[in-house]
């Protein structure tokens, strides 16, 4: 049996390095690759790969949102998150979004291959140092202590608008990207602000960075004395 794989990571050099290593496995076949979240969603729907290897930091649509929407479709595609984030919070978010495996980017290729083989069999796989029981306990604890997350009330269109605004794209750019009118973009954005209790783009960007939806680099001199 050949295992078809879709590789979604915004770093071209990582995809170029990872693809031949995966295809060195006799039963692995990378059917496509992309560096964009929305394209990852479209390719998954079109190609229905056995496995989607997914980075969390993707432009257009973040990896958690891609995973969530793919899971809603109930496709046979299994999701392996490949991430640099090493906290239980991100592992929990990935699993809640529909991922079956969470592999750290610092791991060896052999661990990613093992994760792929696990998820194809319907088994969960977590990189070291994560432990299944600890993650389950963390998810249960956070689920019982948290109220309704306002972000969860956003529609798919509102979530995409949210991310594109956070990435600094203009209303016209967002309209072109989503294939809707600028007026509709403004309506989506207004609803996002209202649902999340935000007062403008600056607060939205801060909110997105806190949730790991976008990554904001620190200035090079941020740690220097002034």
Q: Output the tens digit of pLDDT for each of the chain's 226 residues.
A: 899 999 999 999 999 999 999 999 999 999 999 999 999 999 999 999 999 999 998 998 999 999 999 999 989 999 999 998 888 888 888 988 899 999 999 898 999 999 999 999 999 999 887 776 777 776 666 665 555 678 888 898 999 899 999 989 999 999 998 999 999 999 999 999 999 999 989 999 988 887 777 765 543 444 444 3
What's residue 144's pLDDT?
A: 52
What's residue 186's pLDDT?
A: 95
Name the DSSP letter for residue 125.
E
Quick one: which of 190, 23, 37, 182 has its CA closest to 113?
23
Quick one: which of 47, 35, 50, 44 has its CA closest to 69?
44
Contact 153, 195 (CB under 8 A): yes
What's residue 92's pLDDT?
A: 85
Burial class (CB in 10 A: 0-12, 13-18, 19+), 44: buried
Q: How far apart are CA 124 and CA 7, in angstroms?
A: 19
pTM here is 0.76
What's residue 150's pLDDT?
A: 85
Quick one: which of 221, 73, 176, 198 has its CA closest to 206?
198
Name the DSSP letter for residue 152.
G
Backbone φ, ψ for residue 82 (5° rounding): -115, 110
Structure-block tokens of residue 66: 């891609």
Q: How far apart are CA 77 and CA 119, in angstroms?
A: 9
Q: How far apart are CA 18 and CA 128, in angstroms?
A: 20
């Amino acid at each position: 049996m050949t295992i078809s794989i879709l590789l979604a990571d915004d770093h071209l050099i990582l995809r170029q390095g990872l693809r031949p290593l995966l295809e060195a496995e006799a039963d692995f076949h990378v059917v496509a690759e992309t560096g964009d979240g929305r394209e990852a969603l479209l390719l998954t729907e079109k190609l229905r790969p056995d496995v989607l290897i997914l980075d969390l930091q993707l432009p257009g649509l973040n990896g958690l949102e891609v995973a969530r929407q793919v899971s809603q479709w109930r496709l046979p595609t299994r999701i392996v998150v490949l991430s640099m984030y090493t906290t239980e919070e991100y592992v929990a978010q990935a699993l809640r979004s529909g991922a079956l495996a969470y592999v750290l980017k610092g791991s060896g290729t052999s661990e990613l291959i093992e994760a792929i083989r696990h998820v194809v069999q319907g088994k969960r796989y977590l990189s070291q140092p994560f432990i299944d029981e600890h993650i389950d306990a963390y998810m249960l604890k956070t689920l019982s202590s948290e109220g309704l997350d306002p972000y969860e009330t956003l529609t798919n269109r509102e979530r995409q608008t949210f991310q594109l605004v956070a990435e600094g794209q203009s209303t016209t750019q967002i309209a072109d990207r989503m294939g809707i009118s600028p007026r509709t973009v403004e309506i989506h954005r207004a609803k996002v602000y209202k649902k999340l209790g935000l007062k403008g783009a600056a607060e939205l960007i801060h909110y997105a960075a806190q949730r790991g939806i976008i990554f904001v680099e620190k200035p090079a001199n941020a740690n220097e004395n002034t």
